[in-house]
Amino acid sequence: MTPTVLITGFEPFDGGDRNPSGELALELAERHGFAADVRAEVLPVVFRKASAAVRDLIAETRPDIVMGLGLAGGASTLRVERIGVNFFRGGPDNDGDRYEDEEVIPGGPAAYFSTFPIARLLAAIEGCGVPARDSLSAGSYCCNEVLYAALHACAGRSPEHSEVASVGFVHLPPFPEMVGEGSGSGMMCELQFRGLQAMLGVLIGAAETAT
Ligand code: PCA
């Protein structure tokens, strides 16, 4: 059976004019090169709208794999996130709102672990020459919101509907042309693409074995 993959990225935020995560999500859907049905969506950087969008996309597409992507301005490697927490703070978001202490899903569990096979993913990314590491915090902003909401949406399914095999999130560095002098070097788009494609290969392979 052809696996269905949902890849989300984000629109630019915080005054930036590009967001590698949205661009790479669309690019991966276009030229991933696998026998998979890959759908990409660019999400708003707006508290609650981001999680509502991912929840609706999961309900609509019933994916085997959900891979969230987001920009981490200070990152110099791909960062595979391990945990989504039920906490939101930050802003102003793209609707101009600021938050201090909110739950992503009111009354939801404190946290979920990503269901990605993280060690295998890191080995595959690094195996194709792309620097990567794992991360124990996806932060408290829209990226963590999307990871938590996706894990929550999938955890809540009854066993007969638990067709989601793998849910996780990757923080991406900026592209070199986005980085100001003296603040790191960023990572070229093509290199990021190659790392993400290697991840997809592992995830799709795993999804095929599971079905
Ligand atoms: N990065 C932000 C939100 C959108 C994005 O691309 C984050 O790390 O939460």
User: pLDDT of 32-79, one tens digit each?
Assistant: 999 999 999 999 999 999 999 999 999 999 999 999 999 999 999 999
Beta-sheet pairing, 111-113 with 83-85: antiparallel
Q: Per-residue b/e over 69-85, b at no fewer than 16 CB within 10 Å?
A: bbbbeebebbbbbbbbb
Spot the catalytic one: 142, 143, 145, 152: 143
43 closest CA partner among 27, 33, 56, 31:
56
CATH number for 91:
3.40.630.20
pLDDT band with cut points at 50, 70 and 90 for residue 211: low
Does the pLDDT value for residue 101 go beyond 60?
yes
Task: State the distance from the centre of ligand 1 to the C-alpha of 13, rounded, in angstroms.
Answer: 8
88: its two tokens: 């939101």
Mean pLDDT of the chain: 93
Q: How far is the CA of 211 from the centre of ligand 1 (A)?
A: 32
Pick the residue with more confidence: 155 or 93?
Answer: 93
Identify whether 171 is a catalytic site residue: yes
152 given a catalytic annotation: no
Residue among 188, 45, 72, 60 nearest 129 (CA): 188
pLDDT, tens digit (0-9, with 9 covering 90-100), for 4-34: 999 999 999 999 999 999 999 999 999 999 9
What is the 3-state composition of the chain as percent helix, strand, coil, each rounded to the nearest 5? 35, 25, 40
Count how many Cα atoms sit within 13 Å of the Cα of residue 148 in the half-sphere of its side chain.
Answer: 27
Ligand 1 center to 204 CA (angstroms): 25
What is the atom index within ligand 1 of the atom nearest the CA of 69? 6
72 is in which domain, residue-wise?
4-210
Confidence band for 210, pLDDT divided at 50, 70 and 90:
low
Alpha carbons 9 and 146: distance in angstroms, whole number: 10
Q: Give the pLDDT confidence score for residue 157 in this predicted structure.
A: 58
Q: Which pLDDT belongs to residue 45? A: 98
Secondary structure class of 162 (helix, strand, coil): coil
- Please tell me the total count of domains within the chain: 1
